[in-house]
Amino acid sequence: MKKIVLLLVAAMVAGLVTGCGSSSFQPDQTGISIQTNGSIVSVIKESLDKSYYDQTELENMIHETVDAYNESAGGDWVEVKQYTVENGMATLEMTYDSVTDYRNLNQMKLYTGDLTGTQNTEYQLEGTFFEVDGGKLTGQTTDAATILSGENYNVVVLEEEILVEVPGDIVFISDDVQLMGEREAKAGESTQAAETEQQETNASGIPVISPEGTAETDTTETQQQESGNLFYIIYE
């Protein structure tokens, strides 16, 4: 997450951000939901720490950043909807009027649209893709050229390692995306690794879970290796 998102979470901890209402997108981890009208719902989850903030300075930074963006964009395109703090976990919900607003404010790569729109851009399809049917992997793989020669599906392309909900059934995911359901996938987790872990869990009967924030060395190395990667979630 970029500075504005972390800043808003910090503000939430300090009790500076208020809001009302919430969407039906209620994930148990940080993620975004792509809406049919092109808007984006963002839910950020962060563990609280014991850091202390200068409340006045922090509040000013938040208002200056958000207000400056909305003013430059010519409208109130980004809104903080709701926050909760429960059992040491802070949850912040925001809405973005468009993918452009999300990209600009968070300074992160994100594309939502059809496959044709990715051609000859930084979001162009690359790599190996896993076929999905009915919310399950079929075991079949294909390449970008084959996908592009077929139906002009919709696609989400992003660089953040977060959960993504799409408004249609997922039909392909890239190798570095883990399928979570018919319309949800987690960017930044290898499909092959997830399959292997599932097999090992079934064999032993004891799942081994590595929560976010643990195994610091391994996580850092993985992020460094994948820092330049784009993740693809293709849906109909």
Q: Please give the Cα distance from 211 to 189 (Å, whole number).
A: 13
pTM for the full model? 0.77
For residues 170 and 128, the answer to whether their CB atoms sit within 8 Å is no
Q: pLDDT tens, 174-233?
A: 999 999 999 999 999 877 655 555 444 444 333 332 333 333 434 444 443 344 589 999
Each domain of the chain, given as residue ranges in start order, spans 3-106, 110-235
Per-residue pLDDT for 6 more than 90? no
Q: pLDDT tens, 78-108?
A: 887 877 777 777 777 889 999 999 999 989 9
Per-residue pLDDT for 13 more than 60? no
The mean pLDDT of the chain is 79
Least confident of 10-24, 38-52, 184-198: 10-24
E strand segments, the chain: 31-34, 40-47, 78-86, 89-96, 110-114, 128-133, 136-143, 154-158, 163-165, 170-174, 177-179, 184-187, 231-235
